[in-house]
Structure 1
Amino acid sequence: MPRYALLEHTGAPDDPSGCHFDLLLENGDYCRAWRLGRQPAVGESAQAAVELAPHRLVWLSPRSAAVSGGRGWARGIAHGHYAGALPSDAQAPIRVQLLDGALAGQLHLEGGFCVLEGCTTPHGNAP
């Protein structure tokens, strides 16, 4: 089952706020990644999601480490598994179910935005 992680990334030289979050979704032998301004939470409005270069799988495990190339520090704050497939077209919408961990819910990434909605049953009804 594929994994996800949310990293708190501080000290990145290209981040004027000083702190952002990297959302990672396992995709074979690498992770697709997006920069978020805040930690996603069920019930919050959509936020900007900027797709990043692929990340290494090692970031899916709980860890805290310096980011290569002097790009700050990253600390894993949420980890778990997801159900669903990532489309091969980088522009296609992504809809996956985060099954466990701090971010459990229906994750939507589309048009440069990210939103986390409450879990749904297999029939599409709210629990």
Structure 2
Amino acid sequence: MPRYSLLRHTDAPDDPSGCHIDLLLEDGPACRTWRLPELPRLNGPAQDAIPLPAHRLVWLEPRSAAVSGNRGWAERIGAGLYRGDLPEQQDADVAVELSDGPLAGQLRIAAGLCALTSP
């Protein structure tokens, strides 16, 4: 099963809040990635999900490191597995089931919003 990872990203120059969560979904040789304002909560409100450029697979492993290009600091705060297929189009809706980690449930990213619901 493919993996997912959650990174706490601080001090990104383009983030006025100073801290956000990067959600990574393994997708072959890289990870599809979205910026979230906070960790998704099961059956909580949908939140903004800003697509980011693909991240390297190394971020699926436990690590804490400076982000290239002087773009802050990232620390992996959680990881697990997911079930489901990612669409070929990068901007298409995503629906996968997260398991074996800090988040469990049906993850849906559509129309710029992310929600985690009971399976």
1:94 partnered with 2:94:
yes
User: Counterpart of 1:68?
Assistant: 68
What secondary structure, in the 3-state scheme, does the structure 1 residue paired with 2:51 have?
A: strand
Aligned residues: 119
TM-score between the two structures when normalised by the length of structure 1: 0.91
Which whole-Å CA distance do the structure 1 matches of 2:11 and 2:53 have between them? 18
In structure 1, the partner of 2:21 is 21
Distance 1:86 1:73 in 2: 27
Q: Which position in structure 1 is the counterpart of 2:53? A: 53
Identity of aligned residues (%): 59
Structure 2 unaligned blocks of 5 or more: none
Of structures 1 and 2, the larger Rg is shown by: 1
Where 2:74 maps in the other structure, the secondary structure is strand
Gaps of 5+ in 1: 121-127
Return the TM-score normalized by structure 2.
Answer: 0.97
The CA distance in 2 between the partners of 1:59 and 1:91, in whole Å, is: 22
For residue 62 of structure 1, report the CA deviation from its aligned partner: 1.3
Correspondence for 1:7 = 7
Distance in 1, Cα, partners of 2:69 & 2:92: 30
Instruction: Please state how far the C-alpha of 1:91 moved relative to its aligned partner.
Output: 2.5
**How large is the RMSD of aligned CA atoms in angstroms?**
0.7
**SS of alignment partner, residue 59 of structure 1:** helix
Runs of 4+ with deviation above 4 angstroms = none
Residue 41 of structure 1 deviates from its aligned partner by 1.1
Partner of 2:40: 40
Give the Cα–Cα distance (whole angstroms) in 2 for the partners of residues 72 and 91 of structure 1. 26
Aligned residue type for 2:115? V
Q: Say which SS state the counterpart of residue 58 (structure 1) adopts.
A: helix
